């Protein structure tokens, strides 16, 4: 089920957000400082990094919005914290 949120999916959402954010920052820095200007490759790499930086908060916000659904509280109460 797509909108099912449990303990594992909550953790996975946070981990994917952290991975996207760190990878996005590293790719932007690599594109700005390391990539050559050949065929505007540096702009393409920086754009890919910005896409990852944009997706990180979107995933975190969608995970939060799924956690405030009415039946999500019952499922989250069963988690081991």
Around Cβ 58, how many Cβ atoms within 10 Å? 11
Distances (CA, A) of 34 to 27, 28, 38, 54, 63: 10, 10, 12, 22, 34
Residues 76 and 37: their CA atoms lie apart, in Å, by: 49
How high is the pLDDT of residue 11? 84
pTM: 0.81
Main-chain dihedrals φ then ψ at residue 36, nearest 5 degrees = -75, 165
Q: Give the distance, in angstroms, between the CA of residue 79 and the centroid of all CA atoms in the same chain.
A: 22
Q: Domain segments of the chain: what residues?
A: 13-75
Extract the residue ranges of the chain whose pLDDT is less than 70: 1-6, 80-81
């Amino acid at each position: 089920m797509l909108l099912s949120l449990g303990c594992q999916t909550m953790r996975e959402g946070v981990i994917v957000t952290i991975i996207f954010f760190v990878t996005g920052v590293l790719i932007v820095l690599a594109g700005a400082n390391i990539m050559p200007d050949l065929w505007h490759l540096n702009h393409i790499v920086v754009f890919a990094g910005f896409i990852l930086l944009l997706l990180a908060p979107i995933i975190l916000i969608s995970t939060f919005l799924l956690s405030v659904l009415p039946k999500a509280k019952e499922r989250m109460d069963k988690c081991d914290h």
